[in-house]
């Protein structure tokens, strides 16, 4: 475990290392004529209207300029900014879960500016070293996070987004290389940013008591103080080809991006406590199908219990998920997944065992310029869930239009049912310039 003091040292080491790297990178290399710069801008506009009420109305504008410099000898630098403005009750999420070195600039209550990515990388053959603000996407399932728990994620719209999880880049270093037929991926992130939560009172703020330390939606939350972790996150993954299958073993040690709560004199502290995850992934193709499996064990999962009103304890946690991709006739794609999340012990605010299922079917027509899809996400134990039909149209090489409906059912104390008043229709336009 990395202490707050050693984290500070690690930051300094990383900065010095970056400095040395840049100093010894010959200017003639940095500014060589062979260096190519690529600039692009993504503009997106999302409009949503609540079906039951206007709570889920949303107008969100996003501007993402990207600068990508490809230099000789395998060097590459990339930076992405994200400017967002949101009107409506959905908002842009709290910034209090961000580490100070990663925190977006809240220009005002409705507008944020964030350095989304900033990396300097070097590559030679199978080896890549990446320094900077980055993500480490592990795991083989789609959206079901069993072993894919390195990155912090944005949860300001719960599961009602296009691409899950929506990762938050953090500062650190990563090395990828191959040795003896094992592909290694090692990451050290010095940035304690946790999952970004919806702002209290916003559309997708958690309402279920299981996510609010036992307080149900009718109870007013006391003063909340959020404390991003001071600890670093370290992870190592070895990936191996076994016949036609791909397997990986991995370990992640560091603060859990999911928060836990503790009482203080004035209210509640929100913390991101450390844990160690050991995991395994496996995927195997079989004709038009690919089977995927993930298992993770966390022996010291920090979790809230009702002991003494509100206590944080370490418990054993098992996560497992199995998924199937199936390429069906007529350009139809089916993805089915089921995930299990089991935590031992008594007096938890949540259930001991959650079983989540996802089904997505997608079909492309008109030479794939039009994409029809429907997604189901639900809890098989709580009988709540959401269904999300959508249609997407590639109007041109630079314009993609989408429309969809999010329908939610269940009761207020369930994982998805807590959002059962947020049924909405939405439109999204994305331009790439």
Partner 1 sequence: MQYSLRSVIVCSLLFFSSVGFTNSNPSTLDALSLAQLVADRPSNEGRVGTMHFRLINSAKRERTREALMAHSDVNNVERIAIFFTQPSMIEETAFLSLNYDEDEDENWLYLPATERVRRLPTSDRGDYFLGTDLTYGDIKDNFKFNISDWDFALEDADAGNHQGNIKVLLGKAKSPEKSEELGYASFRAKIDTSTAFPIWAEYTDVDGELLKKVEVLDIALVGGAQTALHFSAENYQTGHKTIVHFTNMRHVPDLDETIFEPDSLAYGVPDVQE
Q: Which residues 387-406 are close enough to bind partner 1 by CB under 8 A?
A: 394, 396-398, 400
User: Using the rule CB under 8 A, is 179 a contact of partner 1?
Assistant: no
Q: Which is nearer to partner 1, 8 or 36 (CB)?
A: 36
Q: Which is nearer to partner 1, 115 or 205 (CB)?
A: 115
Q: Which is nearer to partner 1, 318 or 393 (CB)?
A: 393
User: Using the rule CB under 8 A, is 106 a contact of partner 1?
Assistant: no
Q: Are strands 182-189 and 233-242 parallel, antiparallel or unpaired?
A: antiparallel
Query: Which member of 61, 326, 393, 409 binds partner 1 (CB under 8 A)?
Result: 326
* CA distance readout (Å), 103 to 106, 111, 151, 193, 266: 9, 13, 15, 8, 25
Q: Which is nearer to partner 1, 266 or 398 (CB)?
A: 398
Q: Sketch the per residue contact string, 341 through 380, with partner 1: x for CB under 8 A, - otherwise.
A: -----------------------xxxxxx-----------
Q: Of the ranges 104-112, 273-281, 320-328, 413-421, which one interacts with partner 1 (CB under 8 A)?
A: 320-328
CA dihedral 49, 53, 55, 59 (to 10 degrees): 20
Nearest Cα residue to 77 out of 125, 25, 33 = 25
Burial of 31: CB neighbours in 10 Å, binned 0-12, 13-18, 19+ = exposed
Q: Of the ranges 87-95, 133-141, 307-315, 346-354, which one interacts with partner 1 (CB under 8 A)?
A: 133-141
Structure tokens of 87? 């009107």
User: Using the rule CB under 8 A, is 125 a contact of partner 1?
Assistant: yes
Query: Which member of 24, 33, 308, 433 binds partner 1 (CB under 8 A)?
Result: 433
Nearest Cα residue to 21 out of 66, 68, 73, 99 = 73
Report the nearest approach of partner 1 to the CB of residue 286 (Å): 8
141: region left, alpha or beta (phi > 0 left; psi from -120 to 50 alpha):
beta
Query: Residue 269: phi, psi to the nearest 5?
Result: -95, 140
**Residue 178 to residue 186: CA distance in whole angstroms:** 11
User: Using the rule CB under 8 A, is 289 a contact of partner 1?
Assistant: yes
Walk across the sheet containing 260-263 and list its strands.
Answer: 223-227, 267-271, 260-263
Report the nearest approach of partner 1 to the CB of residue 123 (Å): 5
**Residue 130 to residue 299: CA distance in whole angstroms:** 30
Q: Of the ranges 82-90, 125-133, 305-313, 377-385, which one interacts with partner 1 (CB under 8 A)?
A: 125-133
Backbone CA torsion sign across 139, 385, 310, 268: positive
User: Using the rule CB under 8 A, is 240 a contact of partner 1?
Assistant: no
Query: Which member of 3, 8, 40, 347 binds partner 1 (CB under 8 A)?
Result: 40
Q: Are strands 332-343 and 353-365 parallel, antiparallel or unpaired?
A: antiparallel
Report the nearest approach of partner 1 to the CB of residue 182 (Å): 11
Structure tokens of 423? 């049924």
What distance, in Å, lies between the first and last C-alpha atoms of the chain?
44
Binding site for partner 1 (CB under 8 A): 38, 40, 42, 70, 72, 74, 76, 123, 125-126, 128, 135, 137-140, 163, 167, 176, 178, 183, 239, 244, 246, 283, 285, 287-290, 325-327, 329-331, 333, 364-369, 394, 396-398, 400, 430, 432-433
């Amino acid at each position: 475990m990395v202490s707050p003091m050693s984290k500070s040292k690690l930051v300094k080491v990383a900065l010095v290392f970056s400095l040395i790297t840049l100093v010894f990178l010959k200017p003639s290399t940095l500014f060589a004529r062979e260096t190519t710069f690529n600039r692009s801008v993504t503009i997106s506009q999302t409009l949503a209207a609540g079906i039951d009420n206007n709570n889920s109305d949303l107008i969100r504008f996003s501007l993402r300029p990207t600068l990508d410099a490809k230099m000789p000898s395998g060097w590459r630098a990339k930076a992405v900014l994200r400017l967002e403005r949101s009107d409506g009750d959905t908002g842009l999420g709290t910034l209090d879960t961000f580490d100070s070195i990663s925190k977006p600039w809240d220009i005002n209550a409705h507008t944020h500016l964030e350095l989304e990515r900033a990396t300097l990388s070097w590559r030679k053959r199978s080896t890549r070293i990446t320094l900077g603000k980055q993500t480490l996407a592990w795991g083989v399932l789609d959206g079901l996070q069993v072993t894919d728990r390195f990155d912090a994620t944005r949860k300001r719209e719960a599961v009602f987004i296009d691409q899950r999880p929506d990762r938050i880049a953090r500062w650190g270093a990563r090395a990828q290389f191959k040795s003896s037929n094992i592909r290694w991926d090692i990451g050290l992130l010095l940035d304690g940013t946790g999952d970004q939560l919806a702002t209290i009172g916003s559309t997708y703020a958690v309402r279920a008591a299981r996510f609010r330390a036992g307080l149900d939606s009718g109870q007013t939350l006391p003063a909340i103080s959020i404390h991003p972790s001071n600890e670093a996150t370290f992870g190592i993954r070895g990936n191996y080809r076994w016949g036609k299958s791909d397997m990986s073993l991995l370990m992640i040690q560091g603060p859990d991006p999911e928060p836990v709560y503790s009482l203080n004199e004035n209210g509640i502290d929100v913390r991101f406590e450390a844990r160690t995850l050991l995991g395994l992934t496996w995927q195997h193709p079989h004709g038009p199908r690919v089977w995927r499996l993930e298992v993770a064990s966390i022996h010291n999962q920090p979790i809230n219990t009702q002991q003494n009103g509100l206590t944080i304890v370490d418990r054993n946690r098992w996560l497992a998920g199995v998924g199937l991709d199936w390429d069906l006739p007529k350009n139809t794609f089916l993805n089915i997944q089921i995930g299990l999340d089991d935590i031992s012990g008594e007096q938890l605010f949540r259930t001991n065992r959650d079983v989540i299922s996802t089904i997505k079917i997608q079909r492309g027509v008109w030479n794939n310029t039009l994409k029809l899809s429907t997604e189901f996400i639900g809890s098989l134990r709580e009988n709540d869930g959401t269904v999300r039909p959508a249609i997407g149209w590639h109007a041109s090489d630079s314009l993609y239009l989408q429309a969809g409906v999010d329908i939610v059912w269940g009761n207020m104390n369930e994982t998805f049912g807590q959002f059962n008043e947020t049924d909405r229709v939405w439109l999204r336009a994305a331009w790439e310039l």
